[in-house]
Structure 1
Amino acid sequence: MARKARAEMIEETRTKLLSAGRQAFGTIGYADTSMDDLTASVGLTRGALYHHFGDKKGLLQAVVKELDVEMDVRLEQISDAAVGHWEGFVGRCRAYLAMALEPEIQRIVLRDAPSVLGNAYSQSSQSHCLASMAHMLQQLMDEKVIVRTDSESLARLLNGGLVDTAFWIASCKDAEAGLATSLHSLSIVLSGLLLDK
């Protein structure tokens, strides 16, 4: 049997740690996750964790990045499958808020990441979202679907509102009710952008 290449073994170790981190952070949370238990659960040592991620915080950062990428892919699929650009944009906004109900996203992305990783995480995680939202808004303005304004500032206003609302939904006692009222408010805000009402 051929031995695994070093690069393959490194990637396999990294993947195991990410998967174990995601599982632990998503179920028991960052604060209650023991690094010894986490590494032992995948047959590794704490040294492997430090080598790949620096520390527990570094592992959380990598897990959040992985989740952010998955969320982006899901949102892109929604806009790609929509009948038109406006429907795709509205669908993305609604889906983003609905993700706040998903336990893994709620706990890791909306609760633990902001408190553990702070503003640096929020700013880096939002840069891609802001750029794609500004692009979509500019496209809608060019197609004369929505009123013309500065697409970057509008993207910042809308994205900031969506992110803040997702945090609020995640912390609501009744998250489902929070989502329902948020979706209603979102409809009112977005319809205000349309040229033909």
Structure 2
Amino acid sequence: MARRRTEMVEETRAKLIAAARRAFAAKGYAGASMDDLTAEAGLTRGALYHNFGDKKGLLWAVIEEIDGEMVERMAKARSEAKSLWDGLMDEVSAYVEMSLEPEIQRIVHLDGPAVLGDPSQWPTQMACLRTTQETVEALIAEGTVAPVDAEAVARLLNGAALNAALWIAASDDPPAVTARASEAVRRLASGLLARP
């Protein structure tokens, strides 16, 4: 009985997140009505309130789902690289380039900060920061990166990638801005490399 209830709760949450994700991508957060979201999911407003508290809570859940997918894609880019350094650069580039995708632009980089505040303070960003810091520490240990404060580097590198993504999402010409931003972030990062 408890297992069935848990499955029903998970199914309800998944339906609401899927409906919200489609609506937020198509209409934006402000343009997506809670009545339309719940009707599309075949549920009531009560289900939304019970599972997410409010529309803002639902946006958090949608961003967490998208962010999880982004992290998987970044990890894949890193794992396919020839070296740890190339992996870090490929991971940063993948993050920046995902800003070209309309769903990510609208939900994560435009509506997310407008509704939820500074994305550098989101729990998902904190997890990325820890991963980047660990990678920088490993690069310092192997001698690829000069001895430097790994936390400071991680914060600045993640900040550069995040700000590049926000710039791309808000620009009138995202592909052109992406090329400029990707090149600039790579050049900035290259200053970390240990010199022979």
Class of the TM-score when normalised by the shorter of the 2 chains: over 0.9
Residues 1:161 and 2:125 aligned together: no
Match for residue 113 of structure 2? 114
- Deviations, residues 53-89 of structure 1 (Å, cap 9, x unaligned): 1110110011111111111111111111211101101
CA deviation after TM superposition for structure 1 residue 161, in Å: 1.2
Letter in 1 for 2:51: H
Aligned AA (1:177): A
Alignment match, 1:5: 4
Shift of 1:52: 0.5
Aligned-residue sequence identity (percent) comes to: 47
Matched, 1:73 2:72: yes
Distance 1:27 1:137 in 2: 38
| Residue 84 (structure 2) aligns with | 85
Q: How does 1:73-152 map to 2 (within 5 A)?
A: 73-119=72-118, 122-152=121-151
Kept in 1, the 8 Å contact 2:120–2:159? The answer is no
Tell me what 2:34 maps to: 35
CA shift digits 1:147-171 (9 cap, x unpaired): 1101001101111111111101111
Letter in structure 1 aligned against 2:144:
V
Q: Quick one: distance in 2 between partners of 1:148 and 1:121?
A: 25
Once residues 12 and 121 of structure 1 are traced to their aligned partners in structure 2, the CA distance between those partners, rounded to angstroms, is: 31
Distance 2:15 2:139 in 1: 42
Following the alignment from structure 1 to structure 2, what is the Cα–Cα distance between the partners of residues 191 and 42?
48
Tell me the alpha carbon deviations over residues 76-114 of structure 1, each in whole angstroms, 9 at most, x when there is no partner: 111112111011011001111101101111000000011
Q: Give the AA of the match of 2:117.
A: G
- Deviation of residue 178 (structure 1)? 0.2
**Alpha-carbon distance, 1:188 to partner:** 1.4
Mean Cα deviation higher: 180-189 or 101-110: 180-189
How big is the alpha-carbon RMSD for the aligned residues of Structure 1 and Structure 2?
1.5
95-104 or 123-132: bigger deviation: 123-132
Partners of 2:161 and 2:120 lie apart in 1 by: 16
Where do 1:43-82 residues align within 5 Å? 43-82=42-81
- After TM superposition, the score normalised by the length of structure 1 is 0.94
TM-score normalised by the chain length of structure 2: 0.94
The question of whether the paired residues in 2 share the 8 Å contact of 1:113 and 1:121 is answered with no
Number of positions where the alignment pairs a residue of Structure 1 with one of Structure 2:
194
> Contact 1:80–1:88 at 8 Å: present in 2 too?
yes
* Gap runs ≥5 in structure 1: none
Between the aligned partners of 2:92 and 2:13, the Cα distance in structure 1 is: 33
1:189 counterpart = 2:188 = yes
* Counterparts of 1:122 and 1:51, CA distance in 2: 26
Shift of 1:121: 7.3
Counterpart Cα distance in 1 of 2:62 and 2:25: 10
* Structure 2 CA distance for aligned equivalents of residues 123 and 6 of structure 1: 30
Shift of residue 143, structure 1, vs aligned partner? 0.7
Q: Alpha-carbon deviation of 1:119? A: 3.1
